[in-house]
Amino acid sequence: MSVRNGKRSRRMSASERREQLIDVARGLFAEKGFEATSIEEVAARAQVSKPVVYEHFGGKEGLYATIVDRELAAISATITEALGSARSASVITERAALALLTYIESSSDGFQILSAGSGRAAGSYSTLLADVAVQVSGILASRFCAHGLDPRTAPLYAQMLVGMVATPSQWWLRNRTMNTEQVTMSKEEVAAHVVNLAWNGLSGLEPDPVLRADDVPAHGTDDADSTDDVTTAS
């Protein structure tokens, strides 16, 4: 038992203390990054001594690894469940985007750590996106066959779709965190815009696309002509 303000309070169990330290460290790592966060700060914010942190995690690296593994498991489960039995490109994109945005909304600190590009988190997040791309690739390959498209290109398009979802998600988090006036869209609206771009592009795929460098207006061509070309191509 411990005494605070003249009253007895129940001492945390080992598991409760571990969870508290994880919550405190998650916020610090998200705010300051791995390198700039110290065990001293974690201990001070949790109101414990440094040896308590070392006892539970062995050090900063162990604490960070625990948080990264937890967040990866959470986001992976969220996306995998969302994809479920999806069998069309539009549904895949919609579900993946909404799942990732939902995770970001509920665990912004966790996603900040994963997407910050620091050490273990950077490699693990990249691996996670690659795993999701593999799932998407399998679904796209069957759809490509059904529409006369080369299924061997499915992995490439899967990477494009995953990137098209991941990058706007990071932008949404960054701007929500900064409270910028330009970002007033809900996660549903962001997902809808991602699907709008991805689906309208996928629905018009050419079986054998080629670059058309000769069609690009020469330097100095009137801007209006260039705009017309883009509009026509779209």
The three-state secondary structure class of 192 is: helix
**Between 44 and 129, residue with greater pLDDT:** 44
Whole-angstrom CA distances from 201 to 90, 93, 154, 205 are 10, 12, 14, 7
Q: How far is CA 198 from the centre of its chain?
A: 17
Assigned superfamily of 69-203: Tetracycline Repressor, domain 2 (1.10.357.10)
* pLDDT, the chain, mean: 82
Where are the chain's structural domains? 69-203
Q: Whole-structure pTM over 0.75, yes or no?
A: no
> pLDDT tens digits, residue range 122-151?
677 888 888 888 888 888 888 888 888 899
The per-residue b/e assignment along 197-229, b for 16 or more CB within 10 angstroms, e otherwise, is: ebbeebeeeeeeeeeeeeeeeeeeeeeeeeeee
Is 24:42 a contact under the CB 8 Å cutoff? yes
